[in-house]
Amino acid sequence: MPSVPINVNSNGDNIIVAAPPAGQTIEVWGWCVTINAAVNFQWMSGTTGIGSDVIKAGPYYGNAQGFGVQRQAVTPGEPLFRCAAGESLNLNLSSGVAVGGDLEYTIRGK
């Protein structure tokens, strides 16, 4: 399963996985992040928040340096969440705070 490091520090949307070709979707199977200071963060499909399921996609509030969150898919064959077809997976930050970690994903579709 492909994985990608997370190393972002810009306010707003930060691309974690680039948009796949039309008709294909990004499926997220697991992720972990650690923050460097207080920040709100949420996974985004392009510029749209991915659902309101706090357990899987956020939004989250990290209140101090060293705050960490980790999530893994637990239902066999079912990812934590998906992006809309042809959209990138972004991590939206409420301020320019360093966030690092790792993400496991697959690309599905045509």
What is the CATH number for 21?
2.60.120
For the chain, helix (H) and strand (E) counts, in that order, are: 0, 10
> Is a pLDDT exceeding 90 seen at residue 104?
yes
pLDDT at 57: 53
The encoded tokens of residue 55 equal: 């357990």
Provide the greatest CA pair distance for the chain: 42
Q: How far is CA 49 from CA 7, 12, 60, 100, in A?
A: 20, 12, 12, 20
Determine the length of the chain. 110
pLDDT at 37: 87
Q: Hey, how many other C-beta atoms are within 10 angstroms of the C-beta on 5?
A: 10
What is the number of domains present in the chain? 1
Domain limits for position 93 = 3-109
Name the pTM for this structure: 0.87
Answer with the residue of higher pLDDT: 88 or 76. Answer: 88
